[in-house]
Structure 1
């Protein structure tokens, strides 16, 4: 039986910033996905965007290497409500609040885990 490729895995290393995950959020429930893939009821708790330096060197040396992202938690969680993507690729977390590019990576807790 073949493995499914429907789920894409993004490894992430969080910064050494002392801020923990927002109050009431289980760190084990945090996932990472493109902002375009968020859905109503998800809770955004941080972001991931930059390849770590070591990871970048590895990817430059071997194009098949997996890039590891750096990320950071927010002080509070932000619920996704009325999730929309406008024609220019901006994603809204709340009604008429376009704050993410569709290909930006968000740290979030899926609605089913909240």
Structure 2
């Protein structure tokens, strides 16, 4: 049987803010994913949406360069309960609460790790 080795890699620089990620959450459990890939039970702990200035400059010189994003942890975690994507590409955490575009990157602790 052949296994796929395709892995999406998103380089992110996290702020040096001393706040804890989420009370009682293991920092090693934090993952990065597109908002569209969240699942019920995941804990959203932050976002990785803004390119670093160096990444923007590199992209101007070479459009194929890897984009590096700035990540930021939220003050509190948000539980995904009722994950849905509407016809315009907005993703919800809970029923009718559309908070992200489906292609935005979020920092989260998967339900199986929470």
Normalised to the residue count of structure 2, the TM-score between the two structures is 0.89
Aligned match of 2:8: 8
The superposition leaves residues 4-49 of structure 1 with CA deviations (integer Å, 9 ceiling, x where unpaired) of 22x2110100123332201111111111111001111111000011
* Regions of 4+ moved over 4 Å: none
Number of residues paired by the alignment? Answer: 113
Q: Which one is further off, 56-65 or 89-98?
A: 56-65
Equivalent residues in 2 for 1:1-114, closer than 5 Å: 4-5=5-6, 7-114=7-114
User: For the aligned residues, what is the CA RMSD?
Assistant: 1.8
Q: Report the CA distance between 1:3 and its aligned residue.
A: 6.5
Q: Please list every run of 5 or more consecutive structure 1 residues that lacks an aligned counterpart in the other structure.
A: none
- TM (normalized to structure 1)? 0.89
User: C-alpha separation between the residues in 2 aligned to 1:29 and 1:80?
Assistant: 16
